[in-house]
Structure 1
Amino acid sequence: MPEPAVLRTVLADHPHTAKLKSGELRDERVTLSFTDIAPVHRAFAPMVREEAYDLSELAVVTALQAIAYGRPVVLLPAVVAARFQRGCLIAHASRPVTPAQLAGTHVGVRSYTQTTGMWVRSHLAEDFGLAARDMRWITHEEPHVAQYTDPDFVRRGSGGASLPDMLREGRIDAAILGNDLPEGEEFVRVVPDADTRDEQWWHQHGYMPVNHMVVAGAWACRWEPQAVRAAYHLLLRADAAVERPADVPSPTLFGFDRLREPIEHIVGACLDQGLLPRRLTPDEIFEPARSVLGSDAD
């Protein structure tokens, strides 16, 4: 029997990746050689710029930009991280701001291309009629995809102050944070009924807002397609091993057909916000993966 192909792999610690990272779930066709990178977004630029890994978690906005600019990644129909987003927009409790007051304000976000930022702006547009251009966006980091240029209403913040510190100092009026949302009463939500709105959105659309998916490197898809297929099925098996209540939205989603509507929604939001140079179709986005995975991922 031939030795299994080795895929250099980056996945964050999730309940649905635990059995892969521990080696409890295996496939004789592939070995996932994990590199631990925390926070996982630090792997995104090396993946899309240098094809540094063979299999990697990747923010969906970064993945779509990589496809649009011809970077060597293949987007698999595998969502490994999703969450509700409206509560990620916060202000300082001493200077609260409502959505109706956001026009003309300065809003901080790690990067304009951050997927959480895309979702918050999308929700502000659909809930309150606010366009991305209605605010001034202050960022700390450059895009992961080097070919992309931020719109003219985005500028890089000066100094090394964190977004919470910038809120404390009054240098920005609101900020978008994700997994690093601060706890306590010092900061307040800009959208006070965020939870209710998020639940209504889930019932309307049938999925949680997608954050991170999985991509394979173009080299791996060309030279080790069987290993990439095996890795995809390992992801499916690992997710199936997680017990979740039936009435709770899942942070994962798999399959070309199930992802068609979410991807179309995200592409539209990205175009509205100046995040993509042109419209991508679901067929264009997923055809490279379909040629590797075949009908098993429908």
Structure 2
Amino acid sequence: MLSVAIGNYPHTRLLKERLASSPHFNFVEVSPITKAFAQMVRQGTYDISEMALVTFLQAKAYGKPLVLIPAAVAARSQEISLIKLRSNTHIKGPADLKGKRIGVRAYSQTTGAWLRGILSENFGVTPQSVHWTTFEDPHVAEYSDPPFATRAKPGSALLDMLRAGELDAVIVGNDKPTDPDLADVYPDAEEAGREFASKHGFVPVNHVIVAKQTVVDAQRDALMRFWDAVRAAWKDTPSAKALPIGRKAIEPSVALALKYISEQSMLPRPLTEADVWAGLPDRF
């Protein structure tokens, strides 16, 4: 029986319901699901797991025996995650972030990597031109934050530091706060997201699915059953129909994320697209 750690979203709940009676899969509840990412990378705790895209790319570069299963679990515009205090008139847009202090949960967080790439590409705000503050270790233990990132004091909180004026802006995750004192750094973050999608042809992927190489090698039939169930569940969930599934569909997002984190010196060695997809059966 394969152990599977995947978060609870409409499409994954349908997947779990359909496979609940299967003798091949045991779904393990991990809350928040991000805890499973480090467990999977560091200890190989699960056979199949949801994982942040950047975590997987870093893990692959460090030689972890994982295979990318080409199904996006989560994808969204990244620009809406960059926020400031509404009263901060010194930041009128992303170009004003050069030289400023930005907080992010972890430097290797996928949303942060996407935004650093976008800020550098569109506004010339390079990672090195910002003072970064982080709060957690990366999922991949071998990776270390760059020298221009500082760890917040123990017990510090991202939004508390923003409100106290210790940070100029912060990058939040999927649960964006609705506090009226907070505002987007982008004058129109949703439009910026649409412009990214128009320019690049996709909405950035945040989370994917990975499997152990041993599962791909020794339990191919069970993995194929899982893959068929994933495709059906995504297809049958209205909110998931826009999520890329299949290698051809997800490749553009993976390729740009790889480009961005390579430019950000987040990998211990060059990683080619062939490296990224190594181990994946042809059927995918």
TM-score, L = length of structure 2: 0.94
Distance 1:123 1:143 in 2: 21
| Equivalent residue runs for 1:98-247 within 5 Å | 98=92, 99-243=94-238
Q: Secondary structure at the match of 2:194?
A: helix
Maintained 8 Å contact 2:19/2:25:
no
1:264 matched to 2:255? The reply is yes
Report the counterpart of residue 64 of structure 2 in structure 1: 71
Report the counterpart of residue 76 of structure 2 in structure 1: 83
Residue 107 of structure 1 aligns with an amino acid whose one-letter code is I
Residues 65-97 of structure 1: per-residue CA shift (max 9 Å, x gap):
010001121111111110111010111123242
Distance 2:239 2:176 in 1: 24
Report the counterpart of residue 93 of structure 1 in structure 2: 86
Q: Secondary structure at the match of 1:16?
A: helix
Q: Secondary structure at the match of 1:123?
A: helix
Distance 2:7 2:275 in 1: 27
The structure 2 residue matched to 1:51, chosen from 44, 48, 54, is 44
Show structure 2 runs of 5+ residues with no match. Answer: none
Report the counterpart of residue 281 of structure 1 in structure 2: 272
Distance 1:94 1:31 in 2: 54
Residue 100 of structure 1 aligns with an amino acid whose one-letter code is A
Q: Secondary structure at the match of 1:276?
A: coil
- Return the offset for 1:25: 4.7
Report the counterpart of residue 34 of structure 1 in structure 2: 27
- Return the offset for 1:27: 8.8
Residues 127-183 of structure 1: per-residue CA shift (max 9 Å, x gap):
211111110110010111111111111121113121110111111111000123210
Distance 1:143 1:236 in 2: 30
Residue 41 of structure 2 aligns with an amino acid whose one-letter code is V
Distance 1:100 1:32 in 2: 48
Residue-pair matches, total: 282
Residue 265 of structure 2 aligns with an amino acid whose one-letter code is G
- Return the offset for 1:32: 2.2
Task: Give percent identity, aligned residues only.
Answer: 38
Distance 1:149 1:103 in 2: 23
Distance 1:254 1:27 in 2: 24
Show structure 1 runs of 5+ residues with no match. Answer: 1-5
Distance 1:225 1:26 in 2: 20
- Return the offset for 1:210: 0.6
Report the counterpart of residue 3 of structure 1 in structure 2: none
